[in-house]
Amino acid sequence: MSESLKKTVSPAARDRETAASILHERALRLSGHAEEMEGPVLTEVLEFGVGDATYAIETSLVSEVLPAGDLAPVPGAPGFVLGIVSVRGTIVSVLDLQALLGLPEAQDTAPGMIIVLRSESMEYSVAADVIHGVRELPREQIERALAALAGVREEFVIGVTPERVLVLDATAMLADPTLIVQQDVEQAADITGGLP
């Protein structure tokens, strides 16, 4: 085949290959198998530590991360509530994940950070000793290993990564009415002497 003939055939062959690739991508999208085309589905998570455990929570519901400051105790609150704190003038309860999940409690030290979670209907924070950072986690790495979750309130857990990071379900936590502290905030502020 002459060089001039190769040059005229090659662009057409490339166009057919490109068209076939585009049609294949469209077919995958329409069939619901877009993940085959795009690779692994990634979830952006915030990783943090409480005691010896490492947790991850989707960043989409994390409003902010702040130093814990002074927590005001709330008399009569459930055992998983460490106290309340003022976040820009809004009273926010601070939850102890170990107690909430039914895990052995970490040492009795004040938390260093709080992670504020917010949905349209609820806002509260969880206590953390250390923030490890934000990373993208492939969803297929999250396993629902029931043996690893023994004794844990499974409704708040998506699963566990190979590194033994417990991935929490912030959507379920923010939708659970049992996490609402049934106490008048003004009364709690009066009892504790107010908040800074």
Tally of domains in the chain? 2
Are residue 54 and residue 106 in the same domain, yes or no? Answer: yes
pTM for this predicted structure: 0.67
Residue 196 covered by a domain: no
Residue 7 covered by a domain: yes
Are residue 90 and residue 121 in the same domain, yes or no? Answer: yes
Residue 10: the pLDDT is: 46
Q: What single-letter amino acid sits at 82? A: L
Residue 49: the pLDDT is: 92
Are residue 172 and residue 136 in the same domain, yes or no? Answer: yes
Residue 3's H or E segment, with its range, is: helix 3-31
Are residue 47 and residue 72 in the same domain, yes or no? Answer: yes
pLDDT-based confidence at residue 129 (cuts at 50, 70, 90): very high
| Whole-number Å distance between alpha carbons of 54 and 159 | 12
Domain housing 7: 3-38
